[in-house]
Structure 1
Amino acid sequence: MTTFRLVCRTCGTAREPGPVGYTCTACGGELVVAYPGLAPVRPGATGMWRHQDRLPVSGDVVVSLGEGGTPLVPVAAEPLGVASALVKCEHLNPTGSFKDRIASVALSIAAERGLAGCVGTSSGNGGAAAAAYAARAGLACVLFALADTAEQKLLQIRALGASVHLVAGLGHDAAATDSAARDIAALAAECGLLPMLTGGRFSPEAMEGATTIAFELAEEAPRTTVVYAPVGGGGLLSAIGRGYGRMPAGPRLVAVQPAGCPTLGPALRGRFDGLSGPCTTGISGLQVAVLFDGAGAVEAVRGSGGHLTEVTDEQVHEAQQELARQGVLVEPAGATAYAGALADAAAGRLGPDDRVVLIATGAGYKDSAALGRLAGPKPAQRIEAHDIRKVLADVLR
């Protein structure tokens, strides 16, 4: 059984788990999950839940759809000028993103503590994960999504039975995003729901699910020198940093963020109030005008000796196309880590001895508009059966 406490990041006040209000009652600071040590993996278990004793789930209630244990797939190292490059295929999780790890922990906690379900914000992937795991647990799921959430992601959420509502300004305006998140977190505690806001500031226990990415990488690719992760609200980067931070040594962590939503750069300089203007990136899933896990993201970068790389939407689309040419079909957000690595290679920030891991966060089917851009304007050609031989000959010529 996991032993853990919740500790204030600011004043150090600790409390036992149970309530889902995640603000320090002594000073109003953020709470983080603290363990007495790094527990061993569970023998014979598979996937993410091999690491159950390293997660804030105390009992035997586990809501799982087979998340975690995602493969590491080699891609061409030559464009990066490095010794090796591997893609951590988080897009192959059950609902198509790394957020299944978070939702699995979140709904396990909700079931364990007798909560009615979960409530949260979403740009699509977190909502699909929450909807699936809530359905698996037989619990309610209420989501408040960005007004321009990709239609394919909304369909996935609705098909899984969640209640979803589009909120004007969410994601694109810093004040509106922060206000909505605070209100939802407060209402969650009031209504007996687990907050599913994928950042440590609002959902520290659930976000521990993403630390298992670091645990898996430490086992499967222990010689890794650099890990590239995309940044929206900062939760993924922060969780990977916490996971590696519980082990003796880890790689450099590089945060990759769209230049049209530059929130982490100011945070690294001590400013956490989010964008002063509108979010202009079109990369679905990374349109978060204020960091939900700013302190953790800054710690991950600084504590690992990493850095921030900002990329344009065009660079992300080019990276997505290059991965597709190698058989790895991800949505634009899922290619953002690779875009950052390519940019760093061009800037001389990678060396020939580096061993790189790229976190591919979301599946290609999540964004039909991006798929259409990859496929091009020419539709599939209709032919007669007697034309098959000629078509094969033309293709093979």
Structure 2
Amino acid sequence: MANCLVVLIAFCLAGILGVFGDLCPQPAALAPSCTCATLAEGVGLSCRTVRDVSDLLGALRLVVGPITELSVSDSPQMKNFGLESLEEVPNLKELQSMMLFRVVINMAASPKPLNFPKLRMLNISKNGIRDFPPAMLGNLSELTYLNLSHNAMTSVFPGHFDTLKKLEILDLTNNKLNYIPPLTFQGPVKLRILKLGRNALRDLSPEMFKGLKVLEELDLSQNVIRYLPRDLISEFKDLKVLNLHRNWIIDIPGNTFSNLTQLDRLVVSGNGLKYLSADSFKGLDFLTNLDMSNNGLEYIPEGLLDGLKELEVLNVSFNRIKNMPVNLMKNLKSLRRLDIRRTLITFVPGDIYGLVTPQSNVRVLQLLS
């Protein structure tokens, strides 16, 4: 009886190993450009330089178990590839992560909502996408990460992202967006990171970011923004990083950022900044990193830094500043790095504008070079 039990257990173990150990086909059976790996929850398939859609679909069908991760890259030779064609493959119903990188997706061939109910991560960057139907993302209710960067999109509208209630990260970097209508992002109420850098945004509508109450990071760098309306960012109570690098902003009026009470890092470098008021950074009580480098600033107003008691890094290099108020930095007890290189300052007082005291923490000084 005991021997029979041992045989039965061995038989069951062999069956289990057969089910979970042979999910991937033999490498020789796959296309030369595809690799397959067994994962904790299914199978991961990665293909590069695929020449034809039929080759990709054939590789997908050879996989025995559910495919949970799919990566297709560097395959611009595939013609008229539509995302809808992937729905023909039954073992993609458990898909959780999909990356289609440099594939040249034909959005006209994908007019219906994608039916991947468990998809959490979707990266379709660098595909020459000009537009996509608002309904395309309609069934992706579990999506938390969406990357549409490095495409040729000229517009996004309210409705594009409305159904993505769990979306946390949206990357629209390096497209051709010049305007974003009000309420475009009101759907993804859990959005924490929004990347809009390297576009052509000029005028920001007052309700452009309405609904983004838990946003933590906003990248607006390398656009052509001239003015940042105070009401535009007033709802960002949890914002920690704001990147405005390389825009056309010449002035920061007082209290512009006063509602951003949790802001940790502010980048306004590479603009045409000429004017600051004593209240330009008022309310930024928890700011630790401030970058004002590469602007046209000629002076720093007295009191500008008074409320920045948590500031650790200050960069005002590559400006036209000739001198600064004597006690400009007297309240910067946490400052560890100061950069005033390539300015017109020819003399720095011994206490460095009130910074150097027995209690100061400054570690790195980059002064006149």
TM-score range, shorter chain: under 0.3
TM-score with structure 1 length normalisation? 0.22
- The structure, 1 or 2, with the larger RCO (C-alpha pairs under 8 Å, 6+ apart) is 1
TM-score (norm 2): 0.24
Name which one, 1 or 2, has greater alpha-carbon Rg: 2
> Which structure has greater helix proportion?
1
